């Protein structure tokens, strides 16, 4: 966790530091990510940075917690407050929300994908009680999704797999790299086409490949 000095910073400065750090770890794996590059991009002295975080691991673990919490909140904001009036399947709505997040917060979703591919992913999941599991269990208790399927399979199909879907959509629509960093504006620009592909993914997820 960050030191108290970090939390004493204005909220805007905290968010700026987080954004720059996430960008570094989203474009480089843990081993090749550089604290020196981060410090240079922040425009601060090295000593000042180490007043915020003890080391690279401390920073990385904080970013994992922060980014995943932001993504989980993006989903729970929907199903906690809109679920009663929702007229489409809950899994379909979750998929829409996750894809929207992955385009709106492009660096965040790239960072999550990089993290998922590290050897520490399962260790982190145990330490934090797998927040995606908590969402699935809650939805099962409310009778909104099936309880007879292994929870890890549901997590894989609804959560982990969708970052790969994001990259498939990017390639399919030939979205320029520079557009991806515009976040919400890019999502809105391509929203109709993204929704068509997302609906097809959901159709396969819900109905399989067998002829009807």
* Beta-carbon count within 10 A of 76 CB: 15
- pLDDT by 10-residue block (mean), the chain, 212 residues: 91 95 92 94 92 93 90 74 56 87 92 76 55 78 82 81 88 94 92 95 82 70
- pLDDT value of position 14: 95
- pLDDT value of position 141: 82
- pLDDT value of position 9: 94
CA distance 6 to 49: 9
- pLDDT value of position 126: 46
pTM for the full predicted model? 0.81
Our CA angle for 115, 73, 114, nearest 5°, is: 10
* Nearby residues of 28 by Cβ (< 8 Å), 6 or more positions away: 34
Query: Residue ranges of the domains in the chain?
Result: 4-207
Phi, psi of 89, deg, nearest 5: -60, 140
What CATH superfamily classification does 4-207 receive? Tetracycline Repressor, domain 2 (1.10.357.10)
Convert the pLDDT of each residue in 153-211 to its tens digit.
Answer: 888 877 777 878 999 999 999 999 999 988 899 999 999 999 999 999 989 888 877 77
- pLDDT value of position 100: 93
* Chain CA centroid to CA 118, Å: 15
- pLDDT value of position 112: 85
């Amino acid at each position: 966790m960050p030191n108290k000095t970090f939390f004493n910073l204005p909220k805007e400065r905290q968010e700026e530091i987080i954004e720059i750090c996430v960008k570094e770890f989203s474009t480089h794996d843990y081993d090749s990510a550089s604290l020196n590059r981060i410090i240079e991009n922040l425009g601060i002295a090295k000593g000042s940075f180490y007043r915020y975080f003890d080391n690279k691991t401390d920073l990385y673990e904080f970013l994992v917690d922060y980014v995943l919490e932001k993504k989980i909140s993006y989903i729970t904001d929907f199903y906690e407050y809109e679920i009663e009036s929702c007229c489409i399947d809950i899994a379909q709505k979750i998929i829409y929300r996750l894809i929207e997040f992955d385009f709106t917060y492009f660096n965040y979703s790239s960072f999550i994908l990089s993290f998922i591919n590290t050897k520490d992913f399962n260790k982190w999941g145990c330490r934090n009680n797998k927040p995606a599991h908590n969402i699935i269990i809650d939805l099962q208790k409310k009778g909104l999704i099936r309880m007879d399927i292994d929870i890890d399979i549901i997590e894989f199909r609804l959560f982990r797999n969708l970052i790969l879907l994001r990259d498939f959509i990017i390639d399919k629509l030939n979205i320029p790299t520079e557009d991806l960093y515009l976040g919400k504006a890019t999502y809105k620009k391509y929203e109709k086409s993204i929704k068509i592909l997302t609906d097809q993914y959901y159709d396969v997820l819900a109905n399989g490949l067998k002829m009807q």
